[in-house]
Amino acid sequence: MKNKSYEPQAIEQTWYQKWEANNYFAPSGRGMPYCIALPPPNVTGTLHMGHGFQQSIMDVLIRYHRMCGNNTLWQIGTDHAGIATQMVVENLLRSEGADRHILGRENFVKRIWGWKKYSGDTICSQERRLGISGDWTREKFTLDPNLVQAVQHVFISLYEEGLIYRGKRLVNWDPVLNTAISDLEVISEDSEGSLWHIRYPVADSTESLIVATTRPETMLGDTAVAVHPEDARYQHLIGKQVKLPLTDRLIPIIADEYVDMKFGTGCVKITPAHDFNDYALGQRHNLPLINIFTKDAYINENAPKIYQGLDRFVAREKILADLKSAGLLIKVEKHQLKIPKGERSGAIVEPYLTDQWFVKASVLAKPAIEAVEHGKIKFIPENWSKIYLQWLENIEDWCISRQLWWGHRIPAWSDEKNNIYVGRSEEDVRVKYKLGNIALKQDEDVLDTWFSSALWPFSTLGWPEQTPEFKTFYPTAVLVTGFDIIFFWVARMVMMGLKFTGEVPFKEVYITGLIRDSHGQKMSKSKGNVLDPVDLIDGIALDDLIKKRTSNLMQQHLTKEIEKQTRLDFPSGIPGFGADALRFTFCALATTSRDVNFDIARLEGYRNFCTKIWNATRFVLMQLEGFDRSNNAVEFSLADRWIKSELQRTLHIIETEFKNYRFDLVTQAIYEFTWHQFCDWYLELAKPILYSENFSASAKQGTRETLLSTLETILRVIHPFMPFITEELWQEVAPKLNIKRPTIMLEQYPQFDKSEVDNEAVVEIEWLKKVILAIRNIRGEMNISPAKPLPLLLSKGTVTDKKRIEKHTQYLKALARLESIDWITEEKIPAAATTLVDELELHIPLANLIDISAEIARLNKEIGKLKADIERAATKLNNVNYTSKAPSDVVARERLKLAENQSTLQKLQTRVMDLLGVK
RNA sequence: GGGUGCUUAGCUCAGUUGGUAGAGCAUCGCCUUUACAUGGCGGGGGUCGGGGGUUCGAGCCCCUCAGCACCCACCA
């Protein structure tokens, strides 16, 4: 600690390098294993606040358990993030005027690897800036060779067991990305649409049916019209045919209970190739499937020529116009509907008939459900298990193939007759299926990125090999993640983990909230409210922040609004708060709430806390000039005993709340103890002993000893939250305790020790605080300068009060800034400001200092409060129901309090009378 | 259509098995007291979303209404 004032930039850089260079992040090889698998960030760019939040929490857990003596591994790495990363690089290419199809698959993938290095390196450097203590020597990427091996192993086993199958199915198709996506990747968006009523003439009849549809363009693929079997209006038409307008096709009128008689006209056009319900209905009735779209959602050759080649929405307009001119468009109604959009591209998703690979999820889901129901996996907060279970209990098959180039290639080959062979490699399948020399072609598709993520907790530990790491650290201790990926990831890890290792992948799932901005808005590029954790650590000028938020915007027109809001939120940019303050803030915000509003004011407050710790350490070190532990006799003061006891009380809270994952309560306890007990009280109580001639050398020695050991303990307590500042300070403090070990990181975490709890000291110091506070209160309310020494007169009081006053004269004089303390008899009390501490009466003589009427007003305010309290208590105690039914200790407490208040009231009233007399 | 969560001081949030409401920030007053003005000391501020119920006693339990947020789902 070279600087007088706390400057995070000056200390944070060097320590990290030392820790990493000395391999302190690696498992110790001793103690109970404790492992966290980091949710691997996507290599799509840089870390955002959510990562910072979750990683801070994980690092706190990791550092805590490492200090508690566990054999601790934080398995870190990054995720290839299939679609997301491919899109980033495609956008990059587009800005260069290039295209992945021009580049070709091999070159494009090469290009993505280049991007992966750039993004991965950025992420790792951000993580280092945050101070995270993952084992870098074991860093993994989801496309690393042994993770590829794990993916293949799982795919092949599931295929051979019949749990993976390939089939032509209706899937969610993203016509922009040209790939299938899973149900989870489809986002329903509310939209104001229309319901068109279209007349379908019945063949060989003058009758017609009116169908209602939100998607008129799909009529080109209609293969039936359905009515409810019991619908009296249409009974006679079931089995007949209608002429499908704009085409020359005749399609049947069928009956199915799926149709809701009350909705629209009760007639539904059926398009099995472009609607999930219609598909199911088509299967029941053996309807043909007519696919009318290309992969890009243009009308294809199966439709009448005049519509071919039209975009789906252009086609819609034309079809509506044509229907209208044919007199077949009956009416249009406004209609609320949900539009399915691709999570990544935002394109309207089309149900589309393609060959895809699927996982039979329901089979895998059963054990995953049981694991949570039987408590083998515990969610924190508990109620997320409901969400998890609900989803698994209704799980659909998982479409795992993606028509992308970036990802795990599907380990399947086909021959010319489209027979499928699954194996580790082309060679492997030839041998396995005895194929000889026939032509084989590998499946072009890659796997859904979540397929490899599902294996992360064990694939990173070397599975399917039974490596020492796998045997030691699996199952991992806890998964720390957000509720937004419970389905995508958590559930699938549990399914795969149980299936392939026979064990749960983690024993606990700690679900964090989602980081939002200070207004409660979700952080997103398009809202322009994104914060980069590193900018909070290092600081950023306003102009740079605006530039960062408005560059590469999809919607340019938002620039002005974003700039305005940014200027409003951060009028002078963001100062560098340091990683320690940021990490502590994240933990302090980690309540059970699902939304976490990130307010820079909190960060500022905790930066100030760092400053406080810094200065307190400077103070303690200043008191230790010439301090030698070995030489002198030691005598511990009441304050020494008290602060040690308070420290234990704090450690007890910390221990409990760590188990509960209540980091907000842990940080609160740390903050309260460090600032309000240690700094505000203990350091002030230490000063009189250290500065006064009246105290013995052994008393001074005891105080120094306590200052030092308490501070050193505090530093260890705080270290998991604030690794940098605590290391920096500890390096100065520890040698004074003759500690020669190299780093605070590997020291023992302070443990709660009941034997150091000292209730006697606590009671007495609490009394002392009350007396000091009472005097300060008068000073404050009467606007007397804190610099002005005051005379104190005492009256009444018990024998204990007298003893204590005598004993603590030094403390009282110093902390309440008194020039004198004298006992007087009741008759001699002068005009004074009076306050009570139980039986003891404290008087500050008014003599020019205090206005009598101000004192009367102050007392009357106090009297008012007491009267209200007394009345409430009296009513309560007069209620027989209360005194007979409430527990006796509660009643006794109430009685005692009432008696005290009555006595205080009387005394204060007497004082008012006296003062009025003086006046 | 189902489900979940939230509503406590100006703001952001705690509130343990029901026993007379707490913190941080903001605010007001006094203060350059030799660790710290990124500070010290003191103060003010809430009928705990509305209504009803259980109870001697409800921020906490039950019912109901309202508002906000989110998740899931195939109504054309």
pLDDT digits (tens, 9 = 90+) for A648-689: 999 999 999 999 999 999 999 999 999 999 999 999 999 999
Q: What is the pLDDT of residues A332-351, one digit of tens each?
A: 988 888 899 999 888 999 99
Average pLDDT of span A268-279: 94
Average pLDDT of span A138-153: 97
d(CA A249, CA A609): 77
A656 touches strand B (CB under 7 A): no
For residue A670, the model assigns a pLDDT of 96
Higher pLDDT, A15 or A861: A15
What are the angstrom distances between the C-alpha of A210 and each of A95, A456, A813?
49, 54, 95
A327 touches strand B (CB under 7 A): no
A785 touches strand B (CB under 7 A): yes
Q: What is the pLDDT of residues A684-730, one digit of tens each?
A: 999 999 998 889 999 999 999 999 999 999 999 999 999 999 999 99
**Does residue A266 come out as left (phi exceeding 0), alpha (psi in the -120 to 50 range) or beta?**
left
Average pLDDT of span A244-257: 92
Nearest to A456 by CA among A471, A466, A467, A470: A470
CB A350 within 8 A of CB A561: no
For chain A residues 471-500, those near strand B by a CB cutoff of 7 A are: 484, 487
A183 touches strand B (CB under 7 A): yes
Lowest mean pLDDT among A35-44, A108-117, A242-251: A242-251
Residue nearest to nucleotide B57 (CA to C1'): A882
**Does residue A736 come out as left (phi exceeding 0), alpha (psi in the -120 to 50 range) or beta?**
alpha
d(CA A614, CA A591): 27
| Segment (H or E) for A822 | strand A818-823
d(CA A68, CA A64): 6
Judge whether residue A850 has pLDDT over 80: no
Judge whether residue A204 has pLDDT over 70: yes
A880 touches strand B (CB under 7 A): no
Average pLDDT of span A206-226: 93
CB A830 within 8 A of CB A845: yes
DSSP strand pairing (A401-402 vs A446-447): antiparallel
> Omega of the bond prior to A39 within 30 degrees of 0, cis?
no
Confidence at A831, pLDDT banded by 50, 70, 90: confident
Q: What is the pLDDT of residues A107-134, one digit of tens each?
A: 999 999 999 999 999 999 999 999 999 9
Confidence at A556, pLDDT banded by 50, 70, 90: confident
Q: Which residue has the tokens 């399948």?
A: A429
Average pLDDT of span A19-44: 96
What are the angstrom distances between the C-alpha of A232 and each of A227, A228, A744?
10, 9, 83
- CA–C1' span, A528 to B67, in Å? 28
- CA–C1' span, A779 to B28, in Å? 16
For residue A347, the model assigns a pLDDT of 92
- CA–C1' span, A586 to B10, in Å? 24
**Protein-proximal nucleotides of chain B (any atom < 7 Å from a CB):** 3-6, 11-15, 19-20, 23-26, 29-33, 35-36, 38-43, 55-57, 69, 71-76
Judge whether residue A558 has pLDDT over 90: no
pTM: 0.94
Average pLDDT of span A543-567: 87
- CA–C1' span, A911 to B11, in Å? 41
For residue A849, the model assigns a pLDDT of 67
For chain A residues 805-824, those near strand B by a CB cutoff of 7 A are: none
Confidence at A858, pLDDT banded by 50, 70, 90: confident
- CA–C1' span, A600 to B48, in Å? 27
DSSP A402: E
Q: pLDDT averaged over chain A?
A: 93
For residue A919, the model assigns a pLDDT of 58
Confidence at A444, pLDDT banded by 50, 70, 90: very high
Beta strands in A621-703, from DSSP E residues, in sequence order: none
Q: What is the pLDDT of residues A609-656, one digit of tens each?
A: 999 999 999 999 999 988 888 767 899 999 999 999 999 999 999 999
A8 touches strand B (CB under 7 A): no
For residue A514, the model assigns a pLDDT of 93
d(CA A12, CA A687): 32
Name the nucleotide with the smallest C1'–CA separation from A190. B73
Nearest to A364 by CA among A208, A472, A492: A492
d(CA A397, CA A495): 13
DSSP A523: P
